Amino acid sequence: MKKNIYKILKGTFLVSDDSFKNWRFIIFISVLAIIMIASSHSADKKVHEIARLSNEVKEMRSAFVDGRSKLMRVKMESTVINKMKEKGLTPSLVPAKKIKVKSQN
């Protein structure tokens, strides 16, 4: 047991005659570690992108609600009457009449 630990600490397992299988295993583990790190970075980028898009959606939704409320205020009858008074127009005092057309079948 002590011999194996000393071999590992001294690094003789890397230069011995049967070190080829050790090097293959070390390279395999290194490649797996690189793949794992790349995958982690990719996942982090996606999380940041999702957070950014989420904030953008919230901003757009608030802009939509703000625009809709402004539109509702502009469409109110009192607002329209005030705007038309500035231009010299007033609402009619006589109510509108409905015109019915009978077909000549």
Instruction: At 105, list the tokens.
Output: 């079948």
Q: What is the pLDDT of residues 22-60, one digit of tens each?
A: 788 889 999 999 999 999 999 999 999 999 999 999 999
Distances (CA, A) of 42 to 28, 33, 34, 36, 50: 21, 14, 12, 10, 12
HSE-CB for 44 with a 13 A CA cutoff: 6
Ranges of each domain in the chain: 2-86
- What is this structure's pTM? 0.57
Question: Residue 57's pLDDT is what?
Answer: 98
Rg (CA), the chain: 39
Instruction: Tell me which residue has tokens 């705007």.
Output: 83
